Structure 1
């Protein structure tokens, strides 16, 4: 018998990351809706378990919990990877979330009265589906000319654990986000011989805290203020805090901080340790990668670096084409249509795609409750669908 055959859920949630866990909890606790969370990995929150060793939350733990259960105060202001893994495991237990692990979803199709989900463990039908596979499904590496001829080592940030394998080696980190900054700092601190940071679009660099106040608190305060009003103030404050960083290779971002978040979906980089390492000469900021040769990397300004290792902190793709691409529900970026949390249509819902200004965990907490309400209302309005699906 298929391991899925024992379940007759009202809703199948695909993905046991924070978004999937949160919406499943709200469905069960607030609406009495039976939810089954299916996850291809052997444990929930798998992308958090595989983060690099010095990972810390970029938003304060006090404001980054899921519905119904706070992150323990013992985790401090900036919880680590280990803190978050313990929190998610505890969340599953205490919120009594039903999981089917080691179960990869391969395709979703409309069927009479609902949806048919094909998985590696068989198929299951349900009147409602929630896509919650997250932003970190498949590593994305740019197709740099000549990359196949590179004699060195290429590592995506998703596979980077710590700096020990790269002690005494010359490493180029590509990217300017928080992962790139953290990895470059770890390499510089733990024994890489030379560390370069290749930056294409200058990032907004911010401090973790301004005095006693965490930086993400200010994003909350300015949430309803237009970017045209906020960004000039932020630029002046950052100039006072950092001084002129252009001498170290950090150019001026093309848009203000809030405009960058809203228009480009890029959050600022927490850069206290990065800027300190750059100023100390332990990390060199260089131009963007243009091409790769067997023993060096060519940069956009005409220079080159003799990197032995390239760490590509170049993001991920959601990679949903094979699962729902045939349904016409994805936008031009490959994300489910409708924004961070939405009813895509006909009982197909989605949550957790894209990078919200307040950070993903806070947005998940705020979005899971209304989305669960939409799902419950849909099921109430389509009770005949449930009978068709489970007959």
Structure 2
């Protein structure tokens, strides 16, 4: 239980950090939010220009503040989400420091933590909410011959718009939503091939006239625990109104089995054939961006040791915004608020989970896909 007058430091001022700040205030704690960027909007301004949410506005709000105006069944665009997060931050009576990147968290012998930032600040904290997301840590695999390849190799985290790829031969690696969305956007401008290890799996965006997220909510599937999700979800799936599947069927997008190596000017496909390509975009996911916790010994090969977002290695340390942290929607606008209430309750001592979690495995980490 946190009884100190020292604040709870929330690392990250995006959707997870803001949800944590609101939950902390409701629990009677004093949150201080440290955001590396210039505004409390997380990584949203850095996503590609055409990005839209995969869930309608009516299902995409953080606790206490809804998306305002417009059709509630619309899919908010990137800049609308940025504006929403600015408004949400303004609704929270908490200290939010921008331009404050956390570089390290150290334990104190007397209890609690000392948080260091890149501008030289040291902040004593009674507890830590690690809500720094994963966008800053994109996973980029390394394949044979990659160093000798003369073309462009980048993660979709650094992709913005199709214009620079006009007339080029482009491979997009991945079978998830971002891979398909980027490949589809590029297709009218470039010759695009999707490289995947397995056939792409599609989920219908609308069922019986309603968005899939309506059914996830009414059936309770959005709240299925992580242990069940790990058994049910083995591969990435793409939400589709039919346009992406039709694009592949019509030949606008070509899908091939993942290539095995790079050459100086292209790639070698699984069947041994060589193809020259100008650029390769990897949509291969992200890993939690938690290096600042390394001094604590709280990580296992870079992954947090936790149960439901509550650290199994350190009292007063919790996580927020991890993929499948507690449910299918844990790292989304629509779901992070539930997890925020859960982990903040653990910090505030409103749950009896402290002794119980110390008896559980200290090697549990987010589901990897």
TM-score band by shorter chain is 0.7 to 0.9
2:285 pairs with 305, 315, 333, which one? 315
Residue 115 of structure 2: aligned partner = 117
Residue 31 of structure 1 is matched in structure 2 by 27
Aligned to 2:305: 337
Structure 1 position 67, deviation (Å): 1.1
Gaps of 5+ in 2: 352-369
SS in 2 for 1:185: helix
Q: How far apart, in 2, do the equivalents of 1:335 and 1:135 lie?
A: 11
Q: CA deviation at 1:149?
A: 0.9
CA distance in 1, matches of 2:267, 2:96: 45
* Structure-2 separation of matches of 1:335 and 1:203: 27
The aligned residue for residue 211 of structure 2 is 214
The aligned residue for residue 335 of structure 2 is 363
Report the structure, 1 or 2, having the larger helix content. 1
CA distance 1:318–1:44, shift in 2 (3 Å): same
CA contact (8 A) 2:35 2:42 kept: no
Are 1:376 and 2:356 counterparts? no
Of 63, 70, 79, which aligns to 2:66?
Answer: 70
Distance 2:230 2:53 in 1: 18
SS at match of 2:349: helix
What are the residue-to-residue correspondences of 1:251-266 with 2, within 5 Å?
262=231
State whether residues 16 and 340 of structure 2, in contact with CA within 8 Å, keep that contact through their aligned partners in structure 1.
Answer: yes
The match for 1:132 is 131
Unaligned runs of 5+ in 1: 1-7, 228-257, 380-391
Match of 2:78 in 1: 81
**Matched residue of 2:86: which SS?**
helix
In the TM superposition, what are the counterparts of 1:241-280 in structure 2 within 5 Å? 262=231, 267-271=236-240, 272-280=242-250
Q: TM-score, normalization: structure 1?
A: 0.79
The equivalent position to 2:55 in structure 1, one of 44, 52, 59, is 59
Counterpart among 81, 95, 98 of residue 98 in structure 1: 95
The superposition leaves residues 205-252 of structure 1 with CA deviations (integer Å, 9 ceiling, x where unpaired) of: 112112321112333345469x9xxxxxxxxxxxxxxxxxxxxxxxxx
1: CA distance between counterparts of 2:234 and 2:330? 11
CA shift for structure 1 position 279: 1.8
Secondary structure at the counterpart of residue 172 of structure 2 = strand
Counterpart CA distance in 1 for 2:94 and 2:236 is 31
What SS does structure 1 have at the residue aligned with 2:116? strand
Matches within 5 A, 1:126-205: 126-189=125-188, 191-192=189-190, 194-205=191-202
Q: 1:360 to 1:317 in 2, by over 3 A?
A: closer
> Which deviates more, 195-204 or 279-288?
195-204
Q: Distance in 1 between matches of 2:169 and 2:345?
A: 52
Q: Using a 3 Å threshold, how does the CA distance of structure 1 residues 94 and 106 change in structure 2: closer, same or farther?
A: same
Aligned to 2:357: none
| 2:7 is the alignment partner of 1:10 | yes
Give the equivalent residue in structure 1 for 2:320: 351
Q: C-alpha displacement at 1:374, in angstroms?
A: 2.1
Q: Give the RMSD, CA atoms, in angstroms.
A: 2.5
